[in-house]
Structure 1
């Protein structure tokens, strides 16, 4: 009995540590069973109906990348059934490696490993549960050898050939080492990606509404030469988990890359509303908030690509308000996203609005350099080339102070700034021949950027 009590207390303590690290909001409400998360069910070893429901909810939220809320659900399942080991597996997964781990503070590998260890220490767990926990533990102590996790999940999948979750999470293990770099600029797939795609296609043939398989399949094919393969998954995710904002958002990846900007904007407007309702309902914001901002990014980019000025300006206002709320808590993200607002105005030729913007009250060389970039483009757009060249000089000077190795979503900041530099040189070139050479260089630089959604640069230079 003491071991069982220790198990529950250990899982609860792990959650509390993470909750403190994430600076949970004071008005955060207790976890509950939420409507609108679909009907996906993964049976675990429990006789407690409520524990099973919270586990299923945690799994859906895990697939939906709302890891903090998944963690709360798995913890509740552990409280309801002190004999169950799978809630600790869920906690290990919610704290451990995943596709967006490089930019997510909720990634806590030590706590993930502690959760897996705690579950494995419980007496009388089934061999199936032990296999799942061994899979999670294979990422320990620091996920320095992704091959160990791939091997462990291959074994879990082999022992559970009819379990779509086992197959789906094996596919995820295969793409974790490359994450957002599934294909190179020539469309060649990275190691493990074709196998992962085949596994997910097999799952979806038998379980077409599997939320995790549909989500991951979009990520597996969106950067490929044939992203249209994921159209059925995009269509399904527009409805099967309507209260999970990130799932509602995911079809936008396919609609955007296929050029359906109106639908990409529409699904993200709905996803943003779902997220706002989630924040209001739970009092939880924390590490999930960037996913809400990601929805707004899609709206901003899509409306600007359509050239719909009124809708673009509305998206600018919405993003500005959202950024303002995280200036203190997420300053780097706020700086990065702030730069997207004037470039969006450039996209719809709002030269006066760009030039009316005050110099940012920021010490960020990146943010101020982008301010000069936007002014240079705006002046060039008004045929005021002397003023444009002055702004270009300021831009180039500040570029030397920018951390070139800093991440720019899936790229490096230095590569993006080189692209901006080539564009400015083309816009202020003294001759047509010189401008053409700079434009060619800009195209080469943009072609070399890693895939991202929305793309790293605010418009296609071609």
Structure 2
């Protein structure tokens, strides 16, 4: 996925250089770069993901965003999803807010979300709560016509809110409240309209499973990972992520903890192959987990 979409984006770039970005064809280049980022995040390859995000920013300078903000603006802040996926909390806090908050309304809201998650994970709880308040304010300014392909940005931000509150409450010591918000995030994520790539960049079950593991809820975590991998048939195909390194790691740890060695032998074989493709160490299904194995 990563290599094919990188090549497609390279070809698209030739047309961009010829005709500029103020045309509908820019949607196709966005689509290919979006897929590159999505695939790289699943593979545990931040360099490929950041490469795609930088290409997106170069594809979407301000004049191009102004040409069609309803479709283009939501793809500007993709870098934030990568920073969260790989736990780059300090990097998130260095990100600058857009000067034009009206044009970049979704980007502004998403940065408040990312900052809240980062601050919560850095145990800066008072600042995280203030950032969550600013996120809510920013969401009120996101125009209803703003879309990320098939999904309204307002619906995507509902997933962000539940994820953010889940991590904020959990890291503040309110474990049950945190986990309940993450379960709500899973429901909202599953309920997004079909899209390729999916409207939310990091499967919400990865965070839920990780913090269930952190809380010692291994049985529920195992069920979460099985569902994400598509092993139990509980989810429609678009919500399954077969063979992804994050949930394979979580499932393998769950099986190991309860002494299930036969199934774990097969899971470990898949996990070893997935780990060989990753360029970073995978120790949990989400960087939000404190007691990573």
What TM-score do you get using the length of structure 2 for normalisation?
0.62
Residue 116 of structure 2 contacts residue 132 of structure 2 at CA under 8 Å; is this kept in 1? yes
RMSD value over aligned CA atoms?
2.1
Question: CA separation in 2, counterparts of 1:454 and 1:433?
Answer: 31
Name the SS for the 1:438 alignment partner: helix
Q: Which residue of 1 aligns with 2:132?
A: 392
2:59 corresponds to 1:322: yes
Please give the per-residue CA displacement for 1:369-393, whole angstroms capped at 9, x wherever unaligned. 1111111111122222222111111
Say if 1:406 and 1:320 are closer, same or farther in 2 by CA, change over 3 A. Answer: closer
Contiguous gaps of at least 5 residues in structure 2:
206-293
Relative contact order: is structure 1 or structure 2 higher (C-alpha 8 Å, sep ≥ 6)?
Answer: 2
Question: CA separation in 2, counterparts of 1:411 and 1:452?
Answer: 8
Q: CA deviation at 1:283?
A: 4.3
Give the one of 191, 195, 206 matched to 1:448: 191
Residue 404 of structure 1 contacts residue 415 of structure 1 at CA under 8 Å; is this kept in 2? no
Residue 301 of structure 1 contacts residue 344 of structure 1 at CA under 8 Å; is this kept in 2? no
Q: Which residue of 2 aligns with 1:159?
A: none
Residue 50 of structure 2 contacts residue 79 of structure 2 at CA under 8 Å; is this kept in 1? no
2:81 corresponds to 1:338: no
Q: CA deviation at 1:326?
A: 1.9
Say if 1:349 and 1:403 are closer, same or farther in 2 by CA, change over 3 A. Answer: same
* Paired residues, number: 198
Please give the per-residue CA displacement for 1:43-99, whole angstroms capped at 9, x wherever unaligned. xxxxxxxxxxxxxxxxxxxxxxxxxxxxxxxxxxxxxxxxxxxxxxxxxxxxxxxxx
Contiguous gaps of at least 5 residues in structure 1:
1-263
Name the SS for the 1:428 alignment partner: helix
Say if 1:335 and 1:276 are closer, same or farther in 2 by CA, change over 3 A. Answer: closer
Q: Which residue of 2 aligns with 1:311?
A: 48
Name the SS for the 2:64 alignment partner: coil
Q: Which residue of 1 aligns with 2:243?
A: none
Give the one of 288, 300, 306 matched to 2:25: 288
Q: Which residue of 2 aligns with 1:438?
A: 181
Say if 1:270 and 1:405 are closer, same or farther in 2 by CA, change over 3 A. Answer: closer
2:113 corresponds to 1:366: no
Say if 1:319 and 1:408 are closer, same or farther in 2 by CA, change over 3 A. Answer: closer
